[in-house]
Structure 1
C-alpha cells in the first residue's frame, strides 16, 4: 500500500466493511500477497444480529487461517437445529447429512466473533481503519473512493478493485443506485438477550431452537444458546404484527414468548440482559452483484430472511468466490464476473430462497415435522440446513423448488 500524499492512498483492494465477509476476504487477499485497506465506519466490538453459524462456514474460516482462533475463543458449540410447533417436534443433527464437510460449528455473540475475525485479518497485514466512512465512489478499471474519517478529514483511496462488505449498510447499492425489488415480503424481527437459568439437560444447548407460533404459522421464534449462560431470543413476523412503540417492545416480546409453550417453559420471566431491539425491511436485492471495478459481498448484495441462519454462510461463501475470481483478474486473466461469481453465488441463495418461501407457506414446516421421514431425504434437508446450499449432488440443491413441492405433495398434503 502506498500513500501518494496525505489525501491519496493507493492499494490493490479496498474493502468497505469489517464484518465477516470483509475480514475473510482481507485475510485471503493478504495470503495471496495483495495489499488490502479495510474501511469500517463503526468501531469494534459492536453488536450485530446473526449469531447462529452454519457448519459450511467453517471451511471458509479454515481457508482464511482463522479456524484456530475461533475454536479457542470459547463460543457455544452447535451441532444442529430443533424445531417445535405445538405438540410437533423435529431435530436435525448436522453431522448426519448428505454433503461431506463440517457438521458442527458455533453460536456466537457477534460483537466478539466479528472483532476476532478482523483482528485475524489485521494480524495477516490488512490495513483496517475504524471510524472511516465511504462517501462516494468513481467506478471503472481504477475505482476511486471518497472517504471521510471521524475528524472530518477527507481523502481518496485509489484501488485496483473494491469489495463492498458493508452488510445491511449496503454502501455501494445506495451510492450507485443498484437496489432492485426483492421477492420477499416485508418482515421484521424483535429480539434481545436473556439469562438462561435452565438446569443442565433441560434442553439441547448444542442446537438452535426454532418455534412456530401456535396460531400464526408465519410467525416464528428463535432461541440461540450462547456461552456464559446467555441466550439470544427473537421473534420474526410481518412488520405490522410487531409494530409497537419503542417503549412497548419489551412487553410485546415478553407476551409473544409466553404465547409459545416451549419458550414459556424455558424462558418464563428470565430477565432480559439488554434493551429489546427491532429491525425491519431487511430483505434486499440488486440486479447484479458486480460492476466495473467492484463486487458486492454478502448482505450488501442480497439478504433473504433470518429463519435458517444463512446470512453469515452466504457472506463467507461470497468472500471466497470473490477473492478466487479477483486473483485471476489481477493476474491478467479475462474474467467473466457473471459466470464466475454472480451466478454461482446466487445458486446457493436461490436454494435458501426456496426453503424460506416454503417455510412461510407452511409446506416446509410440514415436511420438517412429518413423522415418517425417509432417512435419505432427512439427510438431504439437513445438508441444506447446515449451509451446503451449493452442493448440486443434493437433489434439494440441484432443483430445490421442484423437489420440496414434490415431497410435500407425496407425503404431507394427503395427510391433511
Structure 2
C-alpha cells in the first residue's frame, strides 16, 4: 500500500484547525486537514471575544468575517451584560486595559466555521471532509495515521507533525491515552436557537446577556442575540439540580428560563427554531499538550466552561502560538514545545480558569455586581473578559488568583 507523506496533518477543520493550517500554508508547508464531518455542521460557542479578531487578522481571515457577517446574521458585539435578581451590570470591551480590538461578533458557529475553513481552502490548504482518523502511531521522525475516507476506504498517511484541532472529538487524547479528568464539577448545558421576538427597546443586542439564577448562584443562562432576530439561549446546571431529568430537553430548558423573571420576560414571545440539545460533562483535561511530533489545540487539550466564552479564543490562541514554533521545527531549527507552546498557552488558560472558578464559588459575582467599582480595575477585568488573558502587564492576568481573591474580599466586606 502506498503511503502518502506530508509536512503536517491537522485533525479537524474548526477554528483552530483552519487558523493553524492557514498560517502554516502561508509559510509554504504542505498541510492536509482531515475533518470527520461535512461543513456546515452544528457547534456551540457562539459569542466570540474581541481578542479573536487579532488572531483572525494574522491569518488573513478577519476581513472575510467582516465582509460576510451581515449576510450570515452575525451580530456586532461590544461587551457583556450580567443580571442577577434584578441587579444589572455590563462591561464595554472598548473600555479596557489592553490595547487591541474591542469589538467582535456573535456568530452562528455552523456558518462561522465554514467561513474560516473555506477561507483556508481558498488560500491553498487541502481539506478532506468525512475523513476520520482511526489509528495513530508515534515514530521518532514522523507520525503515521490510518484514516477512513468518505467512501469507507482506509488509507495511511505519514506526517512530520500532527496538530489535533478536533475539539470535543479529542482524537489524539483518546487514541494516545492522554485524557485525564477535569477538576471542574460535571455540569450539563441545555440550549437551542429561537426566534426571540424580544420587544424590550432597552435590550442591548450588541452584548451577550449572562443571567444568574435567583436562588442558585452556580446556575446561569446565556442569551446571545443574532442580527436576524434569532438568538442562542441556554442554561448551565449541575445534573443533580435538574428537576425530573427524564423530561424532554425543551421542557427542562424553558422551565429554568421561566424561573428567572427578567429572562422569561425577554423571551415571552420566543419560538424555538432548532432542537434543544444537551451537553453533559463537557469540561476536559489532558496529561500533556504535546509530544515530540504532535500538539493539541484548543478544546482537544483543555476545555474549561462556557461562562466567559473563552473556548474559541483559546483555540485561536493555540493556533497562533504553535504555527511559528512548528514552522521552525519543520525548517530544521531546534524548538522547545513545552516552553515555546505549552507554557505560554497555559498561562492564559490558567487566568481564565481563575475567573471561571471564582464565578461558580461566587467571588467574581461579588466583584461585578459591586456598586462602587474602581474605573482602572474595571478596565483590567474588562480586558480579560474581552479575551486578553495573555497580557501579563495586566495585574489580574499576571497574578490572577491572588489579585481576584483580594478584590472579591474587599467587595464582600463593603457590600
Residue 342 of structure 1 aligns to a residue in which SS? helix
Residue 72 of structure 1 aligns to a residue in which SS? helix
Name which of 27, 30, 33 aligns with 1:35: 30
Equivalent in the alignment of 2:41: 46
In the TM superposition, 1:372-391 aligns within 5 A as 372-391=372-391
Aligned equivalents of 1:285, 1:245: Cα separation in 2: 26
Deviations 1:220-250 (A, max 9, x none): 0000001311010000011222375565211
- In the alignment, does 2:165 pair up with 1:170? no
Equivalent in the alignment of 2:412: 413
Equivalent in the alignment of 2:369: 369
Name which of 68, 85, 88 aligns with 2:63: 68
Per-residue deviation, 1:45? 0.2
Q: Does structure 1 retain, via aligned residues, the 8 Å contact 2:165–2:298?
A: yes
Q: Does structure 2 retain, via aligned residues, the 8 Å contact 1:188–1:242?
A: no
Equivalent in the alignment of 1:13: 8
Equivalent in the alignment of 2:289: 289
Equivalent in the alignment of 1:87: 86
Residue 408 of structure 2 aligns to a residue in which SS? helix
Equivalent in the alignment of 2:143: 143
Aligned equivalents of 1:47, 1:295: Cα separation in 2: 25
Aligned length in residues: 410
Per-residue deviation, 1:150? 2.8
Q: Does structure 2 retain, via aligned residues, the 8 Å contact 1:132–1:150?
A: yes
Per-residue deviation, 1:8? 2.2
Q: Does structure 2 retain, via aligned residues, the 8 Å contact 1:190–1:242?
A: no
Deviations 1:278-307 (A, max 9, x none): 001111111210002100000000000000
Q: Does structure 1 retain, via aligned residues, the 8 Å contact 2:198–2:270?
A: no
In the TM superposition, 1:218-367 aligns within 5 A as 218-242=218-242, 244=244, 248-367=248-367
Residue 113 of structure 2 aligns to a residue in which SS? helix
Aligned equivalents of 2:291, 2:28: Cα separation in 1: 24
Residue 180 of structure 2 aligns to a residue in which SS? coil
Q: Does structure 2 retain, via aligned residues, the 8 Å contact 1:57–1:387?
A: yes
Q: Does structure 1 retain, via aligned residues, the 8 Å contact 2:97–2:382?
A: yes
- In the alignment, does 2:198 pair up with 1:203? no
Farther-moved stretch of structure 1 (237-246 vs 365-374):
237-246
Per-residue deviation, 1:38? 0.4
Aligned equivalents of 2:414, 2:168: Cα separation in 1: 41
Farther-moved stretch of structure 1 (376-385 vs 234-243):
234-243
Farther-moved stretch of structure 1 (12-21 vs 66-75):
66-75
Per-residue deviation, 1:200? 7.0
Deviations 1:314-360 (A, max 9, x none): 00000000101101111111111000000000000000000000000
Question: So what's the TM-score if we normalise by structure 2?
Answer: 0.97
Q: Does structure 1 retain, via aligned residues, the 8 Å contact 2:298–2:316?
A: yes
Equivalent in the alignment of 1:121: 120
Q: Which runs of 5+ in 1 are unaligned?
A: none
Aligned equivalents of 1:247, 1:256: Cα separation in 2: 13
Question: So what's the TM-score if we normalise by structure 1?
Answer: 0.96
Aligned equivalents of 2:246, 2:54: Cα separation in 1: 40
Residue 259 of structure 1 aligns to a residue in which SS? coil
Residue 390 of structure 1 aligns to a residue in which SS? coil
Aligned equivalents of 2:155, 2:246: Cα separation in 1: 38
Q: Does structure 2 retain, via aligned residues, the 8 Å contact 1:193–1:233?
A: yes
Residue 292 of structure 1 aligns to a residue in which SS? coil
Deviations 1:46-65 (A, max 9, x none): 01000000000101100111
Q: Which runs of 5+ in 2 are unaligned?
A: none
Per-residue deviation, 1:269? 4.3
Question: How large is the RMSD of aligned CA atoms in angstroms?
Answer: 1.2
Residue 272 of structure 2 aligns to a residue in which SS? coil
Equivalent in the alignment of 1:111: 110
Equivalent in the alignment of 1:394: 394
Residue 333 of structure 2 aligns to a residue in which SS? coil
